[in-house]
Structure formats: structure tokens, C-alpha cells
Chains A and B, each alone.
Chain A
Amino acid sequence: SQTIHQWPATLVQPVGSPLSLECTVEGTSNPNLYWYRQAAGRGLQLLFYSVGIGQISSEVPQNLSASRPQDRQFILSSKKLLLSDSGFYLCAWGDRAIGAFFGQGTRLTVV
């Protein structure tokens, strides 16, 4: 069966520091991968999605970037964090037919 791992679960970072959140999927090949940010009252905001290695689509211009160096690995990064980057970040795999399956999420607090 397919599983998705996302880490760390919580992260506190100072403003201006870099960020790297990692997500890996097991049990499936060539999955679509997604990064979302979840905020109270704003729902799930799609940040990036990827249909294959090296293929990244950005939905929201911002201080973040994503990369997919391997088939089942998806990384969310920032060179310099802003206070506004605080939030709950979710990784998911899936496709438009079956929907998305989510990781546990990362609570990022920028201080």
C-alpha cells in the first residue's frame, strides 16, 4: 500500500533563515505530488504540484520554491523565511482521478 512521509512535524525558524521540508512517498511510481498550506479560514492553498521529476508548477508567487529531485521525493524550500511564511504545510500524492492523499503536515513557526 502507499504511504506518505513528511517531516519534520514541527519547526521553529528565525526570520531570514533557510527552509527545507521533505516529503517522500512509498508504494507507488510516478505519483503527482502536491504542496499545500492550510490556514484557518483560508482552507488549503495549493502552492506547488509536480507531475514528474524536475517538473514543478507554481500556483502562488511567493517566497517559497519546490523541487522534485527523485520520483517519490518532493521538497519545499525557502532561501530566507518571512514571518508570513508561518503556517501548516501539507504534502500530498495522487492524481485528478483518485484525489489526493495527505501527509501529517508540518507546523512551521517563523520567529
Chain B
Amino acid sequence: AQRVTQPEKLLSVFKGAPVELKCNYSYSGSPELFWYVQYSRQRLQLLLRHISRESIKGFTADLNKGETSFHLKKPFAQEEDSAMYYCALSAQGGSEKLVFGKGTKLTVNP
């Protein structure tokens, strides 16, 4: 079964500090992994996909198959990064399910 765990419900950092939002997954096959962000009063939107190996708004995420992790990182947090972040997984070669973690609320303090 596919499962996504985000161990931190809340994360608070100061502006300019590095930030890491943790995501661990459980899936026996090859996963497709995603990070989503929801800013206040906005719809949930895709932030980045591991397959694209992209950096969006200064955020990056690396898939670590050994540790089954896909942590989201940014070297210097900005106040506008304050939002709810969700990690999600789909099963490559499996069903079309897209399963989400419970989310981490990031607050960047001035």
C-alpha cells in the first residue's frame, strides 16, 4: 500500500534561515513524488515533481530511495513561503492513485 508520512504538523523558522520539510514514503515499487503548496485563501497547487528535478521558488527536493524520503529544502526561507505543504506519491506502473501526507504548516517569522 502507498503511504506518505510528514512527521511535522508545524514548522517555524526565521526569515533567511534554511528550511527542510520532511516527507517519508512507503511503497515497494518505484514512486512518483510531488510537493504541493497551499497559500492562505488559495487553491492547492503543485510545487514540484521529483521527475523534473526542478527548483521552484528556491525549493528543491531529492528522492532518496534508500531512506524512502523526499524532503523539501530551501536554503533561505522567505516570509512569503509561509503556507501549508503537502507531499504526495503515486505508484509508477501501478494504479492511478495519488496519495497525500497530512501536511506541514510552515511559518516563516520576520
Residues of chain A at the chain B interface (Cβ within 8 Å): 32, 34, 36, 38, 41-44, 46, 49, 51, 57, 59, 90, 92, 94-105
Contact present for B46 and A100 (CB under 8 Å): yes
**Looking at B32, B44, B91, which has the most chain A CB atoms within 10 Å of its CB?**
B44
B95: Cβ under 8 A from any A Cβ: yes
Query: Within 8 Å CB of A94, what residues of B?
Result: 98
B67: Cβ under 8 A from any A Cβ: no
Question: How far in angstroms is the closest Cβ of chain B from A34?
Answer: 6
The residue that B43 contacts in the complex, of A32, A57, A104, with Cβ under 8 A, is: A104
Query: Within 8 Å CB of B34, what residues of A?
Result: 99
Q: Answer whether A43 and B86 are a contact pair too, CB < 8 Å, given A96-B92, A102-B44.
A: yes
- Please report the total number of B residues contacting A with Cβ < 8 Å: 26
User: Roughly how many angstroms separate A100 CA and B101 CA in the complex, as a whole number?
Assistant: 14
**Looking at B32, B34, B88, B96, which has the most chain A CB atoms within 10 Å of its CB?**
B96
B51: Cβ under 8 A from any A Cβ: yes
26 contacts between A and B (CB under 8 A): A34-B98, A36-B100, A38-B44, A41-B9, A42-B102, A43-B102, A44-B44, A44-B88, A44-B103, A46-B98, A46-B99, A57-B95, A57-B97, A90-B44, A94-B98, A95-B96, A96-B90, A96-B92, A99-B32, A99-B36, A99-B90, A100-B98, A101-B46, A102-B43, A102-B44, A105-B43
Contact present for A96 and B103 (CB under 8 Å): no
Q: Answer whether A32 and B86 are a contact pair too, CB < 8 Å, given A43-B102, A97-B32, A102-B44.
A: no
